[in-house]
């Protein structure tokens, strides 16, 4: 009996042991965040009116030169007087940052970190590539020096073949054409003077910028619109009691259709209003002196058809005399 009990216990142990699986090894990872230092090569500060940074475009290689992240876009968040990205997860290892561009809300490159050997590389202390390491369960911050993209700069001057984005060199405003026409009582008035208002919004449709313009047409139909926002609206403000708006204009459309670009776009704003109803009219009849008329009667509160009938009847009666 004891022998049977011992064999049973052994079989139970072997059964459970045979069902055990080797524990999975979960590799521990670290993370990295990215910020930047603006190092203007001329003044030591920011270029005037550079749009607000919105995201970073970067590329990362491992120590063997294998691409780990190519043209990775990370959103930027304001952190005090600087900006920092969301976290990016990386396995513990050594890496190289090989591309680093700062974009505004419209996806335009406004800052760039130059590469070694580029014309602008001497303007920063440590040009790309920049080496950094990731440790287990750590958060590494990488902060390259960048230079604002100036009016005479090209991607090649920073060491890049291209920025992969359209670059409007060093501009803070986009020249945008507008056109105002009014239909008042069936009469078309074109290129009239008007009060226009342009607004810039972020990606959450929150108003970030607004400017009013005294539009004078047709001599001055170009509006200097501040760049760097997600989308825009152009509004006709109370012209002769009418209003109109061109809403949700994408930043890319504003840029592509700029007045000094290859395919300029004109944003048309139109006001329309029915004619006012006349409250009275005056008929007259000819006196003895040829060509002299005097008021005969006044009729109030008529409609147009009634007026025409009455005027026609008066004209017929005069002609019959």
* HSE, side-chain direction, 13 A CA sphere, residue 8: 5
The per-residue pLDDT for 33 is 94
Grouping H, G, I as helix, E, B as strand and the rest as coil, residue 255 is: helix
The per-residue pLDDT for 115 is 96
Grouping H, G, I as helix, E, B as strand and the rest as coil, residue 285 is: strand
Instruction: Please indicate, yes or no, whether the overall pTM of this predicted structure exceeds 0.75.
Output: no
The per-residue pLDDT for 308 is 58
Q: Which two tokens stand for residue 193?
A: 């003077």
Pairing of strands 266-273, 173-184: parallel
Tokens 């990205």 identify what position?
Answer: 85
Backbone angles phi, psi at 97, to 5 degrees: -85, 115
The per-residue pLDDT for 36 is 93
The per-residue pLDDT for 98 is 96
Q: Which two tokens stand for residue 260?
A: 């000094």
* Cβ atoms of 73 and 99 closer than 8 Å: no
The per-residue pLDDT for 321 is 53
Please identify every stretch of the chain with a pLDDT value under 50, giving residue numbers as ranges: 1-4, 6-8, 10-19, 41-48, 165-171, 298-302
């Amino acid at each position: 009996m004891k022998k049977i009990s011992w064999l049973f216990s052994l079989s139970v142990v072997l059964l459970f042991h045979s069902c055990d699986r080797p524990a999975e090894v979960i590799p521990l990872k670290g993370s990295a965040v990215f910020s930047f230092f603006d190092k203007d090569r001329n003044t030591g500060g920011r270029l005037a009116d550079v749009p607000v940074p919105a995201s970073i475009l970067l590329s990362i290689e491992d120590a063997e030169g294998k691409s780990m992240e190519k043209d990775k876009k990370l959103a930027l968040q304001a952190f005090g007087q600087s900006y920092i990205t969301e976290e990016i997860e990386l396995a513990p290892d050594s890496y190289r940052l090989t591309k680093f561009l700062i974009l505004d809300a419209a996806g335009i490159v406004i800052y760039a970190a130059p590469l070694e050997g580029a014309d602008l590389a001497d303007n920063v202390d440590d040009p790309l590539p920049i080496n950094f390491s990731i440790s287990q369960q750590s958060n590494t911050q990488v902060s390259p020096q960048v230079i604002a993209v100036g009016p005479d700069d090209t991607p090649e001057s920073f060491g890049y073949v291209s920025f992969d984005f359209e670059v409007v060199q060093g501009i803070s405003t986009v020249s945008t054409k507008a056109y105002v026409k009014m239909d008042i009582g069936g009469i078309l008035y074109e290129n009239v003077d008007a009060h226009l208002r342009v607004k810039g919004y972020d990606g959450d449709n929150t108003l970030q910028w607004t400017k009013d313009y005294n539009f004078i047409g047709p001599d001055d139909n170009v509006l200097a619109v501040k760049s760097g926002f997600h989308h825009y609206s152009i509004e006709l403000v109370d012209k002769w009691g009418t209003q109109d708006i061109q809403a949700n204009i994408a930043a890319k459309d504003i840029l592509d259709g700029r007045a000094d670009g290859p395919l300029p776009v004109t944003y048309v704003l139109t006001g329309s209003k029915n004619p006012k109803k006349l409250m009275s009219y005056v008929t007259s009849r000819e006196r003895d002196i040829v060509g002299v008329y005097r008021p005969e009667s006044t009729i109030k509160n008529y409609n147009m058809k009634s007026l025409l009938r009455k005027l026609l009847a008066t004209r017929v009666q005069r002609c019959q005399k």
